[in-house]
Amino acid sequence: MGIRYLHTMVRVKDLEKSMAFFSLLGLKQTRRSDYEKGRFSLVFMAPEGQEDCPVELTYNWDGDDGLPSDSRHFGHLAYRVPNIYEMCQTLMDNGVTINRPPRDGHMAFVRSPDNISIELLQEGDALPPQEPWASMENTGHW
């Protein structure tokens, strides 16, 4: 299967200060999305010429009491996959728990043996919902 690295997500307590820090490292904002309903912002920053390898800064508007503890900063690694159902089946067949099943045919979360959260995203449009994924419950957290 051909997977492709997408981004690494980190939670930030102060979005402006974090953006300023990453700017000092030479990263520039490549994309920003503000989600009023979820009350959070996602800011993607990458070095010039490496826009396909960004860091995603996730900022919760109402704060995050878990920050600045080290365990709350790192969020997940994300990979685009050609067929999310096939990937999840392969992982499950090899003993990996699907923490957030791809019920929507678009997104799933699993954890590495070291408890690192991995987001899997369907390449292109979401696949039509199918079983067993469509009715599978979440397991644990991601």
The answer to whether position 142 is within a domain reads no
In sequence order, which ranges of 4-118 are alpha helices (DSSP H)? Answer: 15-24, 70-73, 84-93
Question: Which CATH number covers residue 113?
Answer: 3.10.180.10
Q: Render pLDDT for 58-113 as a digit per residue (tens, 0 to 9).
A: 999 998 887 777 666 777 888 889 999 999 999 999 999 999 999 999 999 998 87
- The catalytic residues are 119
Does this model's pTM top 0.75? no
Range of the domain at 66: 8-122
Is the residue at 2 inside a domain? no
* Residue 28, both tokens: 């520039």
Say how many domains are in the chain. Answer: 1
